[in-house]
Every structure is written in structure tokens, then in C-alpha cells.
Amino acid sequence: MKTFFEHQSLARRNSRAMVVLFFLAVAAVIAAVDVVLGAIWLWSTGAPATTGVYVAGALVTAGIIFLVSLINVARLSAGGAAVARMVGARPVAPSTADPLERRLRNVVEEMAIAAGMRVPEVYVMDEERGINAFAAGWSVSEAVVAVTRGTLERLTRDELQGIIGHEFSHILNGDMRLNVRMLGVLAGIVFLGSIGEFVMRSVRGTKEKEAIAIFVLGVALFIIGYIGLFFARLIKAAVSRQREFLADASSVQFTRNPEAIAGALDQIRSSAAGTLIANRYAEEMSHMFFGQSVKMWMGGLLSTHPPLDERIRRVHPRFQPSAYRPTRQEAPIADMAVPEAKPTGRRSSDLAAAWGHTPAESAALVGTMDAGKVDYAARLLAAIPPGLRDALRDRERAGPVIAALLLAEPEAARERQLQAIPGVAIAERIRQAAPLTRGLGLAWHLPVIDLGLSALKPLQTAAKVEILAAIEAVIHADRRVSLHEFVVLALLRSELAPRPKAPETRKIRELAGEAATVLALVAYAGTRADATGARDAALQAAVRAGAATLGIPERVPSPAELTLDAASAALEALRSLAPMQKGVLVKGLFAAVTVDGTIRVAEAGLMRVVGAVLDCPLPPLFEALDPASLAT
């Protein structure tokens, strides 16, 4: 099975293949336009067209196609939210009271925490009665998941989980970015058909010879547009069909329940609406949806999705609709309640577990998810007190709750932190949130932050800046930054502060200094401060193991060199590594972290944050532990 990094690299190769096919399609459309121009010129003048006419036709056609494609790519630069808005989808607030939407958010939150990624924004297409869904975005941290109203109303929780698992596979396997890029690029080659339709309307009813010629040109462009549509469908089918089989198989792996996605596909098969989408962008987005969004002629050649029967057979060879349908329950109105776990009061900051994976096996965990992690995520979410969950769903309260995680326990120290916050109003909101987070151990913090980020990311930039400023003030109030505080701040900066897209082309040897800084950071995280006698030896062993894996010089910087700004700058630079090079980096960091055969909560948290900043989601590493045992 391919790793996350191999899937990302393959998606980049597919992008290059798509570009080659796009240029071939452009050439075919240009040739068709020139044939039509030559015929019109001959009919209107009685003489063959000159070379200049053909060149002008080619240049104008190519210019229109490329301009439209560039405009659409730019329009979609905002990421998955722009795609969701394009089809009229409505964002589902984290605090929604609608039971079906609440169930959807719970399923998405479980999947996200199980995958170690930020909770995607959730959208619903209210006008669509078919059963369908899609994921969109340029990166894992910017992903959105959208479903139709029919999906919410017609499916059971298990079937819904099967579809969401399918969409998470697209997010984790790199398909999502390719799909969005394809959506923008292919718009150009179908645009000529729209021009032709406009021209035909403009001159309809006019009898002059020139108008007739223009009308004929419009008809020709309309037909040429369908040539472009044929090539667009061919490209989408070539790129996406096999990815759907992979996503179906991944969904079974995530849920350990082949009946879930097989049942969802069976419901589509038995539904009059099926998976059809009525929105005007259904054709352009056909490769992004869970099921076929438009009716297709020459379906075997041009369909973006395999036949439903074949998909069901692959995920569940022994699936019997006659046996399954009577046993499925109608989609429940409320989500299943899970008994709340109670914190035990045990300290978790130094909690460690034996680690039996090699560095290569550890790096291969990136971008993976299985049913055990999904079950763990469900237990962990159920163990979060209801008052805290409600606050994390509220856009006004989520930021203060995250800041309250970092408040010190002695009251005097806590007051100094609150007084350091710029802004009386937000300081007071953080003070009010403090009781909600008191007693939570470090291992709870990342899941709590993941949930809170879902409410914070849609906020205006000014509100995000205010929250970050308050958290930085809390951290710096005692003039020192602990490892945990660095982890929290690095994660929040990477998710809330605007970052330019970095081209992922560089190699580790080009960023050896930055790699050494992050390596030293995780090496220090793995050595206990109270083990003074053996600390230097443990530190040297960790750095030696990591440097050997990365192929960089072995160097142990002093703690004074590992400042917050230096570590943040190093992580930011490493975002530009090529996908396979990121895999080598993560492997080297795991070699350092697990050199002693164990992994601690602090190390696991740091590794997950490094993964988040690099857009390499790392699932929970402590899923075998009881969530209730992770309290302070």
C-alpha cells in the first residue's frame, strides 16, 4: 500500500499528466476552430483563407481558453470554501441545533481527530435531493466537506460515515488538490460552447448575409464547445475513475464496516434521484462528487465514476440488498449518545508508551486512519465535558477557551497572564472560560484545539489576530516558553495566520540548517529535564539517530538557540520540501523521538504539530490508552 507521501507525489504526477492532456485538448479545439474559420471564409469570399486568418484564429482561441482557465484557477484560489459557495452550499455552524447536521458534524469531527488533521468546514447543499458529497481544498488544513440534503435525510449514521470516510480518503491521498486544479483548468476548453450559444442568441431573426455568417459561426462554436466538453470529460474520467475505487476501499479501512459504504451505494441505486446534481456547475464538478452528478452518454468511456454494481462488488463481494435493506434503520433524528468518561486526575505530561515501530513504519502512519483510531476519537470526544464542547462550537467562546488551556494553576501566576493580555474584553472572556479547561491534561489539548479551530477559522482576520495576540501574551507573561506552549502557538499560527502557498520542490540538503533545528527541538522534547545525569547522552543519541536518517551533519544547538522564532522559521521553511522529502524528514524526526523505544505525550504532541505545519497529518499515537486516563 502506498504511503501518504507517495500518494501526494502521485497526485503531482497526475497533475502533470492532466496538463499534457489539457494542451492536447486545446490543440484539438484550435484545429476545429480553424477548420470552421476556413470554411466560413471560403463561403463568404469565394477564396481560400490565408495563413494569417488561421494564425489569428488559433491565437484568439488559445487566448480565450487560457484566460478563462486562469480566471477560474484564481477564483478558486480561496480553496474549498470557494468551491462550496460555487454550488450554493451553506456552511454548517459548529453550534448548529439541527439534529441531522449535528450528526454530520460529529462524524466529521471523529474522522478528523482520528486522522490527526484539523476539522474541515462542513457544508450542506440544501436544494439537492440526490445522495452525493464532495471534498475540496488546496491542502489538508484548508479542506471542506459538503453533502447534499438527500444524504443527510436518507442515510443511516453508518452509511453517512461510509461516505465521509470516502471523502476523507480524497483529502488524505492528494486527490482533492488535483480535483480543484482540474476544475479551474478545464473550464477554458468548454467556454467556447458558451460563446457560441451567446452569438446564436444575439443574431437570431436577422436576415443579412453577415448576420447569417455570424450565426453559422455561433453554431460552429457551440458544436466546438461540445468537442471541448468531450475532451474535458475524457480527461476527468482518465484521472479520477481509479481514485474512486481507492477511496471506497479506504472508507472500509477507516470504518471496518463494508456494509456502511455498500449500503450507501445501494441506497443510491434504489433512489429515483440517485446522485444527480441540479446545480449549473454539476458538469464542471462531476469528477469531485461521491457519485455521478450528471447523466452521461458513452458512459463506459466518459463516466468519472465506476458503475455502482462494480463499486459495491469491490467493497463487499457478498453484499445482498434483499438481506440488508430490511435490517437498516431509518436515519435517526439524533446522534447516538456515548457515555461520558470522567477524568481520573492522573498526571499526563510525562506519560509514555512503548513504541514498537521502526522510523520508516512510524513515518508511514502519516495520512492514515483506521477503525481503531475512529473508535478512539469517538471515545475521546464523548469524554469532553458537554459545557466545554458547547463553548468550542461557539465562535465567540472558542478562542478564549483555547487561551485558557495555557493559564497557570497558581492564582497569582494566572492573574499575571490575564493582565498581560492586550484588551480588557478578551481577557475577561478568557477568565470566564478558565473553569472549563481546569483539570484537563496535556493530552487533551490538541483535540480541544482541533475542535475550537473549526469555529475560529471562518472568523475575520482581525478577530484571529486578536486571539493570537492574547495567546502570545499568556505564553510570554512569565518570560519563558515551554515546549507545550510552543506546540500550541505553532499550531495556531499555522492555522489562523495567513500563509502564502509554498512551492513544494526543495530537498532536505538545501534546508539542512532548518532540518537540524527541528531535529534538535524534538530531541530536547524526548529528554527529561529531571534526568540531568543521562540527559546529554540521551540528547546526543537522539540527534545522532535523526541526523543519520536525514543525511545531515550531526549538531546539537544549545537551548538558547532554540527560540520560538527560530523553530517557527525553520518549520515554515520546511513546508517547501517536496512530498517524498517530507517523508524523509518525518522519518528522521521519528528516529530521534523513538531512539529509546518509547514515545511520550510531549513528543507525540510535537510530532503532530510538525505534521500539521507541513500539511502531513499524523493520527493519534496513544489510541490504545483510555481517554479518561489522560487528565492532569
- Which residue numbers are catalytic? 167
Nearest alpha carbon to residue 116 among 355, 360, 447? 447
Amino acid at 557: P
| Nearest-angstrom CA–CA distance, 561 and 439 | 33
List CB contacts of 149: < 8 A, sequence separation 6 or more: 124, 125, 126, 127, 128, 129
User: Helices (H) and strands (E) in the chain — how many of each?
Assistant: 27, 6
List CB contacts of 270: < 8 A, sequence separation 6 or more: 321, 325
| Nearest-angstrom CA–CA distance, 318 and 327 | 16
Element (H or E) spanning 42, and its range? helix 4-45
> Quick one: cell of 68?
478563462
Residues 297 and 230 sit within 8 Å (Cβ to Cβ): no
| Nearest-angstrom CA–CA distance, 625 and 458 | 33
3-state helix, strand, coil in the chain (%, to 5): 65, 5, 30
Return the SS3 of 366.
Answer: coil
| Nearest-angstrom CA–CA distance, 249 and 258 | 9
| Nearest-angstrom CA–CA distance, 518 and 581 | 15
Q: Measured between alpha carbons, how far apart are the two ends of the chain, in Å?
A: 38
* Cβ-count burial 108-133 (b if 16+ within 10 Å, e if not): bbbbbbbbbbbbbbbbbbeebbbbbb
Burial class (CB in 10 A: 0-12, 13-18, 19+), 461: exposed
Q: What is the DSSP letter of 506?
A: B
Residues 78 and 135 sit within 8 Å (Cβ to Cβ): no
Element (H or E) spanning 573, and its range? helix 564-574
* Cβ-count burial 254-286 (b if 16+ within 10 Å, e if not): bbebbbbbbbbbbbbbeeebbbbbbbebbbbbb
Burial class (CB in 10 A: 0-12, 13-18, 19+), 152: buried
Rg (Cα) of the chain, in Å, rounded? 27
Return the SS3 of 308.
Answer: helix
Nearest alpha carbon to residue 129 among 260, 277, 266? 277
Give the Cβ contact number of residue 603 at 10 Å: 25
Cα–Cα distances in angstroms (integers) from residue 24 to residues 30, 189, 208, 554, 606, in the given order: 10, 11, 37, 49, 46
Could you give phi then psi for residue 96, rounded to 5 degrees?
A: -55, 145
Strands 598-600 and 352-354 come out as antiparallel
